[in-house]
Amino acid sequence: MGAGTALAGSTVLITGGGSGLGRRLALAAARRGARVVIWDVSADGGRNVRDEIRSAGGVAETQPVNVADREAVQAAAAVAGPVDVLINNAGVVTGKLLLDAADEDIERTFDVNVLALYWVTRAFLPGMAARGRGTVVTVASAAGLVGVARQTDYSASKFAAFGFNESLRAELRAGRTGVGTLVVCPYYIDTGMFDGVRTRFPRLLPILKEEAVAAKVLDAVESGRQKLVLPPLVNLVPAARLLPVGAFDRLMDTLRINRTMDRFTGRPAEVPGAPGVKHDDGSYSAG
Ligand SMILES: NC(=O)c1ccc[n+]([C@@H]2O[C@H](COP(=O)([O-])OP(=O)(O)OC[C@H]3O[C@@H](n4cnc5c(N)ncnc54)[C@H](O)[C@@H]3O)[C@@H](O)[C@H]2O)c1
The CA distance from 2 to 176, in Å, is 11
Cis-peptide into 231, omega within 30 deg: yes
Domains of the chain: 11-270 (3.40.50.720)
Q: 174-177, long-range: CB within 8 Å, 24+ apart, which pairs?
A: 175/129, 177/128, 177/129, 177/132
The CA distance from 228 to 185, in Å, is 6
Q: Which atom of ligand 1 is nearest to the CA of 143?
A: 6
Q: Is 94 in the pocket of ligand 1 (CB under 6 A)?
A: no
Active site residue 188: no
Number of helices (H) and strands (E) in the chain: give both, helices first.
9, 7
At 269 the pLDDT is: 52
Quote the ligand 1 centre to 157 CA distance (angstroms): 13
Contact 111, 68 (CB under 8 A): yes
Per-10-residue mean pLDDT of the chain, 287 residues long, equals: 92 98 98 98 98 98 98 98 98 97 98 98 98 98 96 98 98 93 97 92 94 98 98 95 97 92 80 43 43
Q: Across-strand partners of 189?
A: 208
Query: Which residue in 84, 80, 86, 65 sits closest to 18, CA to CA?
Result: 65
At 283 the pLDDT is: 45
Quote the ligand 1 centre to 17 CA distance (angstroms): 8
The CA distance from 282 to 145, in Å, is 30
